[in-house]
Structure 1
Amino acid sequence: MEFKTVLEKLLTNFDRLNIRYALMGGFALGLWGYGRATADVDFLAHRDDMGKVDAVMKSLGYECRYKSDNVSQYLSPLKIFGEVDFIHAFRETSLAMLETAEEKTIFNGDLKIRVLNPESLIAFKLQAVKNNPSRTAVDLQDIKKLAEINKRDMDYGLIDRYAKLLNMEEVWHEIKKEVSL
């Protein structure tokens, strides 16, 4: 996937159509100091904007491979455009995450993008551990690295509340001990 090309096209359209979004996933981790390989782009997007998102994706040649009330997955037949996944924000917590997303510059200042803050990324990673145990090792490593790198600036009370909401307090407590938070 050619990330710069894909993001230029997506972000131009998202801004033009006032689509409420925030970057999440592996690419977002890199913007908070923890770079790791990723093969796709992941977004949190307001559920009310998903009709506009679908129109943008299809106008760029993407095919919707999967869609539910919670997620949409798009794949381009062209390898350079790759896969783009969306989690639909509609619950109070995910809508608040969208509101607190921060703007970052990427590609040497060429683009501005909204990205979930570390607390929200950690919450989604905790949810991933809960929902898909086969990814536990990768997601726990992501959480630990993200927490370690950003520990001076994070709102631990907020992450504690997310962990409680997900019934993942024990896992989060162990991570805090390991990372000396």
Structure 2
Amino acid sequence: MAIKLEEEFQELLRSLNRNNVRYLLIGGYAVILNGYIRNTTDLDVCVASDDENAIRLVRALKEFGFDVPGLDGSLFTKPKSLVRMGFEPLKVEIINYLEGVDFEKAYSNRNVIELAGLKIDLISVEDLIANKKAVGRHIDLADVEKLEKINKQILAEK
């Protein structure tokens, strides 16, 4: 399965890694990397909301080139924070919460994968399914159906 991650997305993830940001790749790319190939129009990242991680995240974003007025760590420590950058098909959404899943639990369950020589902290399929069920949009529930079927097949093969 050849997954193409846009160069701009790769560079953002490299910057997060270089700055030791605690993050999880979630959303459409997480669905794809967990086995269900479908279209996605953005990159969704969830970050830890503690002060130290927020400082590292701001440093990573500035290094990436997202140095806008008002960019400081408090943006990422407020409850249910959402920051959007860019436009489709190169839109990035950074959030600091996961519906239906505790970030710390999900981070400890994460899968560290490598794609095109890039290390990515990927939400586990179990936590992705729980998150998508909690969000409950039509696309999320369709993802859940496919991911559960794929996960069931994988478990049956073990």
Fold similarity call, TM over 0.5: yes
In percent, how many aligned pairs have the same letter? 27
Listed as ranges, the matches of 1:122-161 within 5 Å are 122-129=129-136, 135=137, 137-152=138-153
Structure 2 gaps of 5+ residues are none
1:54 maps to which of 51, 58, 62: 58
Q: Which amino acid aligns with 1:72?
A: L
Map of 1:88 onto structure 2: 96
Go from structure 1 to structure 2 and tell me whether the alpha carbon gap of 1:84 and 1:25 turns closer, same or farther (over 3 Å shift). same
Q: Which amino acid aligns with 2:84?
A: Y
1:38 maps to which of 20, 37, 40: 40
Go from structure 1 to structure 2 and tell me whether the alpha carbon gap of 1:46 and 1:15 turns closer, same or farther (over 3 Å shift). same
Task: State the secondary structure of the residue aligned to 1:36.
Answer: coil
Aligned pairs, how many? 142
1:114 maps to which of 99, 121, 130: 121
Give the Å deviation of 1:9.
1.5
Query: 4+ runs of 1 displaced by more than 3 Å?
Result: 61-64, 89-92
Go from structure 1 to structure 2 and tell me whether the alpha carbon gap of 1:81 and 1:146 turns closer, same or farther (over 3 Å shift). closer
CA distance in 2 between counterparts of 1:55 and 1:34 reads 33
CA distance in 1 between counterparts of 2:56 and 2:84 reads 14
Structure-2-length-normalised TM-score: 0.75
Q: Which string of whole-angstrom CA distances, capped at 9 and with x for unpartnered residues, describes residues 114-154 of structure 1?
A: 1001111111111211xxxxx3x211110000110012557
Task: State the secondary structure of the residue aligned to 2:65.
Answer: coil
Map of 2:81 onto structure 1: 71
Contact 1:29–1:146 (CA<8 Å) still a contact in 2?
yes
Q: RMSD of the TM alignment (CA)?
A: 2.8
Structure 1 gaps of 5+ residues are 130-134, 155-181
CA distance in 2 between counterparts of 1:80 and 1:146 reads 25
Structure-1-length-normalised TM-score: 0.66
